[in-house]
């Protein structure tokens, strides 16, 4: 049973899956654009300002930030996003003219960079990983703490990355992870 939330009524979510938990202090600006899958958790102090789709058995750690205005962030099944990660689907373009920020009227605002973010199944993000607008993270990718993922990177499935910008470190074990997930899903039926 999901606990009450101090910022919005959980019934406002587009979907809250069976056994899913949204922490009492999670702030979701647009709950009608948010779908949270079965047995997933959004930990306290997470902030969401865009549409999100969260798969099954996925965890977003405390102090996570998922922002993007009108953009959307899709997160797969069996994903673990450590505390402090930033998934950014919209940002100001700091290289141009104009003013920036949500208080600026549109006619005075600089251009923005807006592009959906997609996180595949079985992805693991280390603490304070940052994902920029338009980044597509394939199945099985994992990152070390403080990793920067950009849309220009060609990320390979089932690979551990670290650094800013991210560099491949080694290949991850695939077969055992997929087999374990399959067994869990069969048991949950």
- Segment 104-126 mean pLDDT: 94
- Segment 165-170 mean pLDDT: 98
Q: Are 96 and 112 in contact, with CB atoms under 8 Å apart?
A: no
Q: Which residues lie across from 131 on neighbouring strands? A: 87, 149
pLDDT above 80 for 96: no
- Segment 32-37 mean pLDDT: 98
pLDDT of residue 2: 46
CA 64 to chain centre: 8
pLDDT above 60 for 3: no
What does pTM read for this prediction?
0.94
Q: With H, G, I as helix, E, B as strand and everything else as coil, classify residue 108.
A: helix
Q: 125: which residues sit within 8 A by CB, 6+ positions away?
A: 79, 80, 81, 82, 85, 131, 142, 143, 147
- Read off the pLDDT of residues 126-148 as tens digits, 9 standing for 90 and up: 999 999 999 999 999 999 999 99
């Amino acid at each position: 049973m999901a606990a009450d939330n101090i910022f919005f009524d959980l019934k406002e979510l587009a979907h809250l899956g069976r056994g899913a938990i949204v922490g009492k202090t999670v702030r979701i600006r647009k709950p009608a654009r948010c779908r949270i899958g079965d047995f997933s958790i959004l930990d306290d102090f997470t902030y969401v300002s865009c549409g999100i789709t969260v798969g099954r058995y996925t965890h977003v750690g405390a102090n996570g930030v998922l922002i993007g205005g009108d953009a959307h962030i899709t997160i797969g099944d069996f994903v673990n996003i450590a505390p402090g990660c930033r998934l950014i689907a919209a940002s100001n373009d700091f290289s141009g003219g104009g003013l920036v920020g949500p208080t600026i009227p549109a006619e005075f605002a600089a251009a923005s960079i807006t592009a959906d973010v997609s996180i595949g199944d079985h992805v693991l993000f280390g603490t304070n990983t940052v994902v920029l607008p338009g980044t597509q993270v394939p199945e099985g990718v994992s990152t070390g703490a403080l990793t920067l993922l950009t849309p220009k990177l060609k990320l390979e499935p089932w690979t551990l990355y670290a650094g800013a910008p991210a560099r491949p470190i080694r290949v991850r074990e695939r077969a055992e992870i997929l087999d374990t997930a399959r067994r869990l899903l069969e048991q949950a039926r």
